[in-house]
Amino acid sequence: MVLGFAAAAIAMLIALIPAGIVLYRGDLAAAVVAFEFITAVIVMVLALLAQAFQRPSLFELPVLLAMLMFGSGLVFVRAMERWL
């Protein structure tokens, strides 16, 4: 295991706590912004963990999530604009 990458992944997960608070306690608009923030950070966390555990196959996950982030973000934004 590569310790630096694992430590960075854990630190980033801890740094998500403020965003989680905004997601839980903020209004709808702030929650959507927090969702985008969390998704972007999770992409990095997945890449860091794949590198930390030396599993090349796990590098598919951040690529997939980065692709899905665009679609899911637009779905939430559109729903917020039109219906919520």
Partner 1 sequence: MAREVLCDVLLGLAVVTVAGAALGLLLMRDAYQKLHFVTPAALVAPVLVTLAVLVRMGLTENTGETCLALLFLVIAGPYLSHATMRALRVREKGDWRPGGNGKASAEEKEA
* Interacting residue ranges for partner 1, rule: CB under 8 A: 2, 4-5, 7-8, 11-12, 15-19, 21-22, 26-27, 29-30, 32-34, 36-37, 40-41, 43-44, 47-48, 50-51, 56, 59-60, 62-63, 65-67, 69-70, 73-74, 77-78, 80-82
State the Rg of the chain over Cα: 15
Evaluate whether 12 touches 3 at the Cβ level (below 8 Å).
Answer: no
CB of 76 to partner 1, least distance (A): 9
- Rounded least distance, CB 34 to partner 1, Å: 6
Phi, psi torsion values for 2, nearest 5 degrees: -90, 110
Q: What's the CA gap between 23 and 38, in Å, rounded? A: 9
Q: How far is the CB of 82 from partner 1 (least distance, A)?
A: 7
Question: Are 78 and 46 spatial neighbours (Cβ–Cβ below 8 Å)?
Answer: no
